[in-house]
Amino acid sequence: MSTTAAAERTGSNLDPHVNGAGHAQSRPTPADLLPDSTLVKWLRDMYLIREFENRSAQAYQQAKIGGFCHLYIGQEAAAVGTIGSMEHDDPIVTAYRDHGHALARGMTPEACMAEMFGKITGCAKGKGGSMHMFDKPNWLFGGHGIVGAQTPLGTGLAFAAKYEREVLKKSLYTENPPRKKVALAYLGDGALNQGALHEAMNLAGLWSLPVIYIVENNGYSMGTAIERGTTMAHDLRKKADAYGIRGEIINGFDIIELYNHFKPLVDWCREEQAPAFVDLKTYRYLGHSMSDPQKYRTKDEVELFKSKDSIDNLASYLMDASTPRAKARGSAVLTEEQFIEMQTEVKEAVRRSVEFAEQSDTPDPATELYSDVFINPMKNLSPMGDYIHGVRNPLI
Ligand SMILES: Cc1ncc(C[n+]2csc(CCOP(=O)(O)OP(=O)(O)O)c2C)c(N)n1
Ligand SMILES: [Mg+2]
């Protein structure tokens, strides 16, 4: 694809009329209401993800990480901005490019890196690896390797939250009375044509489930450009229209703009207990996975997107003394020295996570192969049977 076509692809769908960008703002935007500390935290979170991914790439090349490994560099604002719009106990589920979501949700770099290394101290005891980040305390339900398979799960999470509140009138997990929740189901543009997504969206529309399908539209499904494999690529909201689901197109290159459009959508879904669909424009700077010669795109195209880098964008905004935010507080939110300090601190945190992963033990096959698996030997895997947790499977 030519550079111009790529620019048109992301540019055309960012029409100001689509999401309100470009209108003179008389009232404060949602981001205007956020404290400086939140924006600084977002910058740190995005930088943490980038540094984590850089170190993961290194470790992978040194064969310390095995299996598939899909890096999130370039897409950081997508996870940080959307998760930054949610409550902590709103459930989320994603695909295999999942390290960014895990870190943005609050998983420690240690638990995430150790999982990549297949170590017992990893978030899934090293049994899942790069594609299967799980973090129940932080309401992250994976990390899934089958394209599109997580979308019915996200729909189920929304169903469960709505059922607890409206039918059971109590929570099965916490003492607190159930409140209105919203689930996020992230997917790649390559999942748009999976049947599972369409079945899930149909039910979400039919039962008005509070789930937001977020298409992290990086323009490619492995080496296939979205226009080559998907109808209505210029306006994916039409897919949601078919199911009576509200659709939005949002710029994922600028985290503040993202928040200004995504947060009101989350508020609406929560209040109405209804679904939504977001075509979130983003881009991955590296190949699909660690082995991708990237013959399907030009270096110029990659450079074009790097020039819109979301971390650079936010750092410049915070260090600019002429923004209304800076003027209101009398100085830029962040000095250059503070930004450098932040980078040093994050690099050190990621370095420690690699050391932690290297020094952790591998799982003991004698016990770990048989724990955390569910079996029902009596009923031979019937869904109606009672499942026993952590019991050795007699069939093995
Ligand atoms: C059902 C299924 N079909 C094919 C694959 C192989 N596969 C792995 S990743 C991928 C591309 C998906 O691209 P996209 O959804 O755009 O996500 P991205 O990699 O861009 O984040 C494919 C086809 C798979 N994992 N699952
Ligand atoms: Mg993609």
- Report the pLDDT value the prediction gives residue 371, as an integer from 0 to 100: 79
Q: Whose CA is nearest to atom 6 of ligand 1?
A: 147
- Report the pLDDT value the prediction gives residue 10, as an integer from 0 to 100: 47
Is the shortest distance between the CB of 221 and ligand 1 below 6 Å? Answer: yes
Closest CA to 218 of 170, 262, 280, 165: 280
Cα R_g (the chain), whole angstroms:
21
Show the domain range for 218: 3-363
Question: Mean per-residue pLDDT for 77-106?
Answer: 98
Is the shortest distance between the CB of 188 and ligand 1 below 6 Å? Answer: yes
The CATH number that applies at residue 277 is 3.40.50.970
> How far apart are the CA of 249 and the centre of ligand 1, in A?
22
Could you tell which of 53, 132, 147, 297 is best to mutate to test the pocket of ligand 1, judged by most ligand atoms within 8 Å of the CB? Answer: 147
Question: Mean per-residue pLDDT for 258-270?
Answer: 98
Residue 34 located in a structural domain: yes
2 pLDDT higher than 50: no
> How far apart are the CA of 174 and the centre of ligand 1, in A?
35
Domain count, the chain: 1
Q: Which residue has the tokens 């040093």?
A: 344
- Report the pLDDT value the prediction gives residue 367, as an integer from 0 to 100: 84
Is the shortest distance between the CB of 206 and ligand 1 below 6 Å? Answer: no
- Which ligand places an atom closest to the C-alpha of 292? 1
Reported as a single tens digit per residue, the pLDDT across 309-332 is: 999 999 999 999 999 999 999 999
> How far apart are the CA of 71 and the centre of ligand 1, in A?
13
Residue 388 located in a structural domain: no
Reported as a single tens digit per residue, the pLDDT across 117-171 is: 999 999 999 999 999 999 999 999 999 999 999 999 999 999 999 999 999 999 8
Residue 200 located in a structural domain: yes
Percent of the chain's residues with pLDDT above 70: 88
Closest CA to 174 of 162, 183, 187, 164: 164
- Which ligand places an atom closest to the C-alpha of 98? 1
In the structure, what pLDDT confidence band is assigned to residue 291 with cuts at 50, 70 and 90?
Answer: confident
As a 3-state breakdown, the chain gives helix, strand, coil percent values, each rounded to 5, of 45, 10, 45
Q: What is the C-alpha separation between 351 and 287, in angstroms, rounded?
A: 24
Residue 322 located in a structural domain: yes
Could you tell which of 94, 98, 194, 222 is best to mutate to test the pocket of ligand 1, judged by most ligand atoms within 8 Å of the CB? Answer: 222
Q: Is 227 left (phi over 0), alpha (psi -120 to 50) or beta?
A: alpha
pTM of the model: 0.91
In the structure, what pLDDT confidence band is assigned to residue 23 with cuts at 50, 70 and 90?
Answer: very low
Collapse the DSSP code of 110 into the 3-class scheme (helix H, G, I; strand E, B; otherwise coil) and give the result: helix
Residue 368 located in a structural domain: no
Where are the alpha helices (H) located in the chain, listed in sequence order? 3-12, 16-19, 36-61, 76-83, 99-105, 109-116, 150-163, 195-207, 226-229, 237-241, 255-272, 299-306, 310-319, 324-329, 336-359, 365-368
> How far apart are the CA of 147 and the centre of ligand 1, in A?
5
Q: Whose CA is nearest to atom 21 of ligand 1?
A: 188
Closest CA to 320 of 74, 39, 47, 78: 39
Question: Mean per-residue pLDDT for 284-297?
Answer: 93
Whole-Å CA distances, 321 to 1, 327, 331? 39, 7, 6
CB atoms within 10 A of CB 382: 9
Question: Mean per-residue pLDDT for 39-66?
Answer: 97
- Report the pLDDT value the prediction gives residue 388, as an integer from 0 to 100: 53
4 pLDDT higher than 60: no
Q: Pull the structure tokens for residue 282.
A: 């983003």
| 3-state per-residue secondary structure call for 26-57 | CCCCCHHHCCHHHHHHHHHHHHHHHHHHHHHH
Could you tell which of 221, 279, 280, 291 is best to mutate to test the pocket of ligand 1, judged by most ligand atoms within 8 Å of the CB? Answer: 221
Determine the straight-line distance between the first and last CA of the chain, rounded to whole angstroms.
50
Q: What is the C-alpha separation between 185 and 79, in angstroms, rounded?
A: 12
pLDDT higher at 145 or 290:
145
24 pLDDT higher than 80: no
Q: Whose CA is nearest to atom 11 of ligand 1?
A: 221
Is the shortest distance between the CB of 190 and ligand 1 below 6 Å? Answer: yes
Collapse the DSSP code of 272 into the 3-class scheme (helix H, G, I; strand E, B; otherwise coil) and give the result: helix
Is the shortest distance between the CB of 220 and ligand 1 below 6 Å? Answer: yes
- Report the pLDDT value the prediction gives residue 7, as an integer from 0 to 100: 47
User: Do residues 128 and 80 make contact, with C-beta atoms less than 8 angstroms apart?
Assistant: no
> How far apart are the CA of 142 and the centre of ligand 2, in A?
18
Is the shortest distance between the CB of 218 and ligand 1 below 6 Å? Answer: yes
User: Do residues 131 and 96 make contact, with C-beta atoms less than 8 angstroms apart?
Assistant: yes
Residue 378 located in a structural domain: no
Residue 20 located in a structural domain: yes
Residue 256 located in a structural domain: yes
Question: Mean per-residue pLDDT for 374-387?
Answer: 52
As a whole number, the mean pLDDT across the chain is 90
Question: Mean per-residue pLDDT for 240-254?
Answer: 98
Reported as a single tens digit per residue, the pLDDT across 186-236 is: 999 999 999 999 999 999 999 999 999 999 999 999 999 999 999 999 999
Question: Mean per-residue pLDDT for 245-250?
Answer: 98
Whole-Å CA distances, 31 to 203, 259, 261, 265, 335? 33, 7, 10, 14, 20
- Which ligand places an atom closest to the C-alpha of 78? 1
